[in-house]
Amino acid sequence: MIETVTLLAFVPAAIALNLTPGADMMFCLGQGLRSGAKPAIAASAGVSAGSMVHVLLAGLGLGAAVATLPWLFDVIRWLGVAYLLYLAWSTIRSGAVSSDTPIRSTRWAFRDGMLVNLTNPKVILFVLAFIPQFINPESGSVLVQFLIFGVIISTSGFIVNGLVGIFAGGAGQVMISNPRASRVLGWISGGVFAALAVRLAVMERV
């Protein structure tokens, strides 16, 4: 359905985009620092699942509503800000991390990653701006093409963000052995979530 030449152009572009540090990568970094590699991988999977929801909505044409209704954009954005601030507050409030501190379960990490992605309305606007450049209506269903390209973006994003989370998880485990460092670690991971909330709050519509 999709020409090989188009795929050869899209795949490197998708990988390059996912290698660019952004909110999703920073969230997985913070998750890895706080809870370790497995929850970070689960968070990365949640981010990718959220991305696929955005792709599906864009393919169905619902993304146009976000682009044209300012109030809808702002509602989604402020929900995201509130949730990120909640994550920052709960992380910092829990204090120092230690080997006895229960890590965040993979199920909740997946949910957090998905919610953080879904409450960033710029994701669907990005999908609407990027993927249509590679869509060819004469090649078949536009929705199916959207989903294929979405799977490529989500898969490469899962790998990149997951690797970042694994690295952060390894660094976090090393720091846990030092009480003072583990306390700093809690503030750093909470600060990452707070910074993402500020970034989402001050961003402008495109």
Let me know if residue 197 belongs to a domain. Answer: yes
pTM of the entire predicted model:
0.75
pLDDT-derived band at 102, boundaries 50, 70, 90 = very low
Let me know if residue 17 belongs to a domain. Answer: no
Let me know if residue 4 belongs to a domain. Answer: no
pLDDT, residue 204, reads: 58
Q: What is the mean pLDDT of the chain?
A: 80
Per-residue pLDDT of 131-190, as tens digits, reads: 888 888 777 788 888 899 999 999 999 999 999 999 888 766 655 555 565 566 667 767
Let me know if residue 76 belongs to a domain. Answer: yes
Let me know if residue 10 belongs to a domain. Answer: no
Among candidate residues 203, 189, 194, the one with its CA nearest the CA of residue 76: 203
Let me know if residue 3 belongs to a domain. Answer: no
pLDDT, residue 57, reads: 87
Which domain, by its residues, includes 99? 24-202
Let me know if residue 43 belongs to a domain. Answer: yes
Q: What would the DSSP string read from start to end of 60-77? A: HTTHHHHHH-HHHHHHHH
Q: How far apart are the first and last CA of the chain?
A: 31
pLDDT, residue 181, reads: 58
User: Do the beta carbons of residue 48 and residue 157 sit within 8 Å?
Assistant: yes
137 DSSP 8-state letter: G
User: Do the beta carbons of residue 98 and residue 201 sit within 8 Å?
Assistant: no
Share of the chain above pLDDT 90, in %: 23
What is the number of domains present in the chain?
Answer: 1
Give the whole-angstrom CA distance, residue 67 versus residue 125: 7
3-state secondary structure of 102: coil
Let me know if residue 126 belongs to a domain. Answer: yes
